[in-house]
Structure 1
Amino acid sequence: MTVKDLKPTNVWSIFDEITKVPRPSGKLDKIRQWLVDFAKEHNFEHKIDAVGNVAMFRPAAPGYENAKKVVLQGHMDMVAEKVPTSHHNFETDPIETVVDGEWVRANGTTLGADDGMGLALALAALLDDDIKCGPLEVLATVDEETGLTGAINIKSDMLQGDYLLNLDSEDDGIITIGCAGGLESLVYFDYTPEAAPADLVYFKLNITKMHGGHSGSDIDKGYACATKQIARLLYRLEQKFDFRLARVDAGNLHNAIAREAVAIVGVKPDDKEKLSVELNAYIADVKNEYKATEPHMEVLCESVEKPATVIDADTARRIISAAYVAQHGIYSMDHDIKELVETSTNFASIKTLEAEKTIYIEHFSRSSVESRKYELAGQIEALYKLAGARKVDYTGGYQGWQPNVNSKLLADAVAQWEKLYGVKPIVNAIHAGLECGLFLQQAPHMEMISYGPTLENVHSPQERCHIPAVQKAWDFTVALLQAIACEK
């Protein structure tokens, strides 16, 4: 069975087409052209704004010209993550989808159902003439995964609606009405490269096969963070014997919990046994600490050739200490919504940029309280400045989405879910980022909700989409659009 054989056929067929179009964040020309071609093929009016967002419009069904206008919205980019053994090129290759029981996944890469499935649901609704409703707009935004660029730069002419249905949520039976804001902290350390001592032996320390996940929705799951773990290992070794650090690299994307980390170290031949002892003790500790959440985690050590240079000892010491102390995970919990994370940071990555003689570190902080977001970012900045960082910059800042519990749209959505499935949906706010708060800056009159079918392990190669939940999301979308059309 292939994806195109699944039900509802209209949604899965469009999703199948989307998976064939390369669309990693920052490389969206192909998916943008595909969307424009889709609009032209089906004779929908469309527009592209200055940053590359695409909107297409369907007029009201006869007799529904005065019904409320609805925007169906998703983002066109996907997180590009793959297993170490994959040769997939996200800029050229289609996603290889696999139907696995009640789930669809990809072969060794992210699936891109975040948010390709949201777009598929929106476009299927646009095509369905049996949905009798007012004017519809489908809005596809750019680079949501790397700073919400499309939403930050949106203008009101791209939001032609009274209601907005954001189709970028990941839990069946949950309607989201609020989210956290975010801010990236970019840290730069200069270092002096020195000739690698010839009297040392060199090893590559590799932390691999960690779970990873979404830096917002998974930050409370207890998954290990590769950036924190490599810093912890290096700090532990530093307390036992002298070594030289040639490079350290961990993590990839600001919104993904780091899954892999590598460091190259040089030790005295007489200290090889100490390295082995400390490494085995470290492995025993982390295997015990993370036995429930990281059953596949591996820590490997292999001999490597002498590198050309090492990082000067003073800078290496300061970076290891700062990274060891740096925060990762939950900072505070929400006092009003049970079990909701209020503020957190993801220690996203650490990179050795040899050409620039720079160590680059990135944190991504989230909070539903703007002041707490900046408080946490300020603590991160203070730590790294104390450690001698040359510069700490901020980027990608966006505000959260304040819940509106009195929304008529929300009331319609709850009623339709209960009518379809016999239970009330859960209504909540989330710690992950959504674009709705930014849309409200341009269109404060709009009422908004977010929902979608169940996705698991997004932002990691284990991402998968629950097939029965897609049918439910489609049926709910149809029922909600028709209920909105009948509002008095």
Structure 2
Amino acid sequence: MGVLNDLKPQIVFKYFEELCSIPHGSGHMELIGDYCVAFAKEHNLEHYRDNLSNVIIVKEASKGYENSPAVIIQGHLDMVCEKTAERDIDFLKDSLELGIDGDQIYANGTTLGGDNGIAVAMALAILASDDIEHPRLEAVFTVDEETGLYGAEAIDVSMLTAKKLINLDSEEEGIITVSCAGGVTAECILPIEREKVEGTQVKILITGLIGGHSGMEIDKERGNSNMLMGRLLYSLNKELTLNIVNIAGGQADNAIPRETVLNIVVADKDLSKLETLIKEYQSIISNEYKTSDPKVVVKVENLGKAKAEALNKESVKKTILMLLNIPNGIQSMSADIKGLVETSLNMGVLKVLEDGVHAIFSVRSSVETAKAAVCDKLTALMEFLSGKVQFAGAYPGWEFMKDSELRETVIRVYEKQYGKKPAIEAIHAGLECGFFSEKINGLDCVSFGPNMTGVHTVEERLSISSVERTWKLLLEILKESK
């Protein structure tokens, strides 16, 4: 018996729980694609699937809506896979373990994938139903949104007829999104040289940070464990000989990293000094982040005597210079829209590979030239350090449409259901509407969704009551789309 069986709307939560039972982390879309195709065949629906596992399912209009303009319902199939250190799960094989806490659905020790599984579940629920009034529906499920909107970039939309698109990838009820930032993934690579060292190996862990979505939560000024480790490295290197064996922090470029691990080898005579410096740094960051990240902690573990390959002195120097000076976080706020972050970047992943130190960023901006300027900063710094930057997954922003029939319908239906007008906003996060607007001339888009918190973190929660209200809103919008 399913954990969500007794929740309403039952059909939506039925499909959401089925989706949670199928591994669907970014980059591993085959199984979830198989599920969508099997669903379409079961319900005798026209469907398409490309080699990336993007899936389109078409349902013809219900009685009385045969002459109504078609509507696209769109969401993405992939989820960000984050877990606690204690949680034993293989995201390539295992189902999520769902739980209910009051009005909230969560996953035990992992991200939930409400972003964007709840959108897919709502679309499937409509496609499966025989008693919902709607025009021709074109459900579009994209892959690898979380790693760069690759599915939306590649998908063939030639079979689509609709000029209206409802994206269900927003996370705050009561807000209708009408514009978003564009972005790109930047991977900075710093070449390194290694040397053999001996001493005591020590593991240092910065953990306890809240993290979050690098677009939606970048304005919360939460600590980035990778950047904090860079500061610590500088402090340690001033006082003792630092032999860096490895650094590893973060799991996705678009998630603010919660923890970073550093492995170093130090001389025995420096162990006491190291512990003192760590305590001092703990005091510093506990004070600086007492509001945004009150549980941040620096942990130290002595791993014993060791012989290891470590970065040589020049590579250590360049690594620290890079981490101290590379831009991160908010770069500018919009002068046109109060409270909107215009340009930012997030070092979501930091790791040492055979060819060097890799720092992977999600760069975002609602102004294309400002995004390019940030990329130029990264390039200039890395060239100075004899490194390089590789850019991938660039996606366009979604421009505000002055005259939008769909937006006016959503506002009218929302006001009737809630007794007040919704907020109309632009967001700093990326949405796939930008790619679809490029592909379909004159496309009219809106984005909305139920309340979700802690997205891209193990604290992710999905509001049950908000899902029900959003479901009713969606059905009424379709009903009025004659």
Fold match (TM-score > 0.5) = yes
Offset of residue 342 of structure 1 = 0.4
Stretch deviating more after TM superposition (42-51 or 138-147): 42-51
Offset of residue 155 of structure 1 = 2.3
1:457 aligns with 2:454: yes
Give every structure 1 segment of 4 or more consecutive aligned residues whose post-TM-superposition deviation is greater than 4 Å: none
CA deviation map 1:368-403 (0-9, x unaligned):
0000001011101111221221x2111111110001
Task: Look up the equivalent residue of 2:266 and give its one-letter code.
Answer: V
Partner residue, 2:359? 361
Partner residue, 1:381? 379
In structure 2, distance between residues paired with 1:384 and 1:319: 11
Offset of residue 281 of structure 1 = 0.9
Partner residue, 2:167? 166
In structure 2, distance between residues paired with 1:328 and 1:188: 16
In structure 2, distance between residues paired with 1:307 and 1:221: 42
Q: Is the Cα contact below 8 Å between 2:183 and 2:362 reproduced in 1?
A: yes
Offset of residue 359 of structure 1 = 1.5
Partner residue, 2:257? 258
The change in CA–CA distance for 1:307 and 1:453 in structure 2 (over 3 A counts) is farther
Task: Look up the equivalent residue of 2:293 and give its one-letter code.
Answer: E
Question: Aligned with 2:75: secondary structure?
Answer: strand
Stretch deviating more after TM superposition (170-179 or 233-242): 233-242
CA deviation map 1:202-222 (0-9, x unaligned):
211111121111010011112
Partner residue, 2:326? 326
Q: Is the Cα contact below 8 Å between 2:170 and 2:177 reproduced in 1?
A: yes
Task: Look up the equivalent residue of 1:97 and give its one-letter code.
Answer: L
Q: Is the Cα contact below 8 Å between 1:55 and 1:158 reproduced in 2?
A: no
Task: Look up the equivalent residue of 1:272 and give its one-letter code.
Answer: L
Offset of residue 196 of structure 1 = 1.6
Partner residue, 2:232? 233
Summarize the alignment of residues 221-300 of structure 1 with structure 2, pairs less than 5 Å apart.
221-300=220-299
Offset of residue 307 of structure 1 = 4.5
Offset of residue 201 of structure 1 = 2.2
Q: Is the Cα contact below 8 Å between 2:224 and 2:258 reproduced in 1?
A: yes
Partner residue, 1:52? 53
In structure 2, distance between residues paired with 1:415 and 1:60: 22
TM-score using structure 1 length: 0.96
Task: Look up the equivalent residue of 2:195 and give its one-letter code.
Answer: E
Q: How many residues align?
A: 480
Task: Look up the equivalent residue of 2:133 and give its one-letter code.
Answer: K
Task: Look up the equivalent residue of 1:323 and give its one-letter code.
Answer: L
Q: Is the Cα contact below 8 Å between 1:327 and 1:345 reproduced in 2?
A: yes
Partner residue, 2:429? 432
- Structure 1 residue ranges without an equivalent (≥5): none
Partner residue, 1:61? 62
Offset of residue 421 of structure 1 = 0.6
Q: Is the Cα contact below 8 Å between 1:440 and 1:446 reproduced in 2?
A: yes
Offset of residue 314 of structure 1 = 0.3
Summarize the alignment of residues 329-348 of structure 1 with structure 2, pairs less than 5 Å apart.
329-348=329-348
Question: Aligned with 1:308: secondary structure?
Answer: strand
Offset of residue 158 of structure 1 = 4.6
In structure 1, distance between residues paired with 2:373 and 2:307: 40
In structure 2, distance between residues paired with 1:236 and 1:308: 22
Offset of residue 50 of structure 1 = 4.1
RMSD: 1.3
Question: Aligned with 2:17: secondary structure?
Answer: helix
In structure 1, distance between residues paired with 2:188 and 2:462: 35
In structure 2, distance between residues paired with 1:158 and 1:214: 33
Stretch deviating more after TM superposition (249-258 or 129-138): 129-138
Partner residue, 1:310? 310
Stretch deviating more after TM superposition (123-132 or 17-26): 123-132
Partner residue, 2:178? 177
- Structure 2 residue ranges without an equivalent (≥5): none
In structure 1, distance between residues paired with 2:263 and 2:62: 64
In structure 1, distance between residues paired with 2:170 and 2:328: 24
Partner residue, 1:29? 30
Q: Is the Cα contact below 8 Å between 1:208 and 1:299 reproduced in 2?
A: yes
Q: Is the Cα contact below 8 Å between 2:184 and 2:392 reproduced in 1?
A: yes
Task: Look up the equivalent residue of 2:364 and give its one-letter code.
Answer: R
